[in-house]
Amino acid sequence: MADDLPSPPAEVVEYACALLGAPLPPAVPFEQADLGPLAASFWAESKRVSNGRIKQELGVTLAYPDYRAGLAAVLAAGG
């Protein structure tokens, strides 16, 4: 994910749970998680990327500039 607020996945989950008023799911150490090969390869790396280039060079204006705005919009839309 590349947005104006690059964050670790756990922070995004925490925010989503707060929006929903749901409890946080229990944390499971990566080594103990029963993940398939595709999920394991996805979660094995956590890279932060900047969206500055598309905004600056292409003049892109993001409808939802960060995960907080995007998740709030999904919730507002009934999703």
In a domain, 1, yes or no: no
Q: How many domains does the chain have?
A: 1
In a domain, 26, yes or no: yes
- Provide the domain limits for residue 64: 9-42+49-76
| Per-residue pLDDT reduced to its tens digit, 12-64 | 999 999 999 999 999 889 889 999 999 888 888 777 778 888 999 999 999 99
3-state secondary structure the chain: CCCCCCCCHHHHHHHHHHHHCCCCCCCCCHHHCCCCHHHHHHHHCCCCCCCHHHHHHHCCCCCCCCHHHHHHHHHHCCC
What whole-number distance in Å separates Cα of residue 66 and Cα of residue 52? Answer: 12
In a domain, 4, yes or no: no
This prediction's pTM: 0.77
